[in-house]
Chains A and B, each alone.
Chain A
Amino acid sequence: GAGVSQTPSNKVTEKGKYVELRCDPISGHTALYWYRQSLGQGPEFLIYFQGTGAADDSGLPNDRFFAVRPEGSVSTLKIQRTERGDSAVYLCASSLERNQPQHFGDGTRLSIL
């Protein structure tokens, strides 16, 4: 079956611009996660959705970052006033329900010039 799908696969934009990154989880998965992976590092947690609600957003670095999941399926990570330090690979994962293994997409490589 289809895995977690992330679009775009690559995004290059200028400092100060607004970006949206999309995640399509595995069908039927109720839990959805966003992580950020900087070069040479392991992924770092950003936010976790259970259904439509953000159950844990403790990893969002500041108020320029926001994520939504309005219908409990597709999620969008939104970054305002991008900075060069936001450059990273943004990974999305989903799991069938709480406490189940997370399945990852291939990520979106974001480059801020």
Chain B
Amino acid sequence: AQSVTQLDSQVPVFEEAPVELRCNYSSSVSVYLFWYVQYPNQGLQLLLKYLSGSTLVKGINGFEAEFNKSQTSFHLRKPSVHISDTAEYFCAVSGGGSEKLVFGKGTKLTVNP
């Protein structure tokens, strides 16, 4: 069975500071990895995805993530955050013939002025 662990439930940062949101996964098969963002009272919006190829993946809104197979990690990074990045971020995994996404519990990012 697949699982996802998001190590930080809440991350407060100041505007224009860099941020890293951590994600580790567990799977016995090849995986696809995703980061989604959820703004209050909205659905999930895809930030970026790793399907294959280059381990450094660039997404929307200046976010990027690096797939590290040996450490089973897929951490999300942004070099300089904005107030508008305040939201909840979910890491998810799929694969092994299963179409379903398995999500972590989420990390609430709060960007303060």
Contacts and interface: CB of A to CB of B under 8 A. Distances in A.
B43 to A, nearest CB: 4
B100 A59 contact: yes
Contact of A40 (B49, B92, B105): B105
Contact of A103 (B32, B46, B102, B103): B46
Interface residues of A, number: 27
Contacts of B41: 106
Contacts of A102: 46, 101
A45 B32 contact: no
B45 A45 contact: no
A101 B105 CA distance: 20
A56 interface: yes
A30 B42 CA distance: 23
Contacts of B99: 31, 33, 48, 50, 55-56, 98-99
Interface in B11-54: 32, 34, 36, 41-46, 49, 51
B8 to A, nearest CB: 14
A105 interface: yes
A104 B98 contact: no
Contact of A104 (B32, B45, B51, B102): B45
B100 A33 contact: yes
A75 to B, nearest CB: 15
B14 to A, nearest CB: 25
A101 B49 contact: yes
B103 A44 contact: yes
A48 B99 CA distance: 8
A107 B36 CA distance: 15
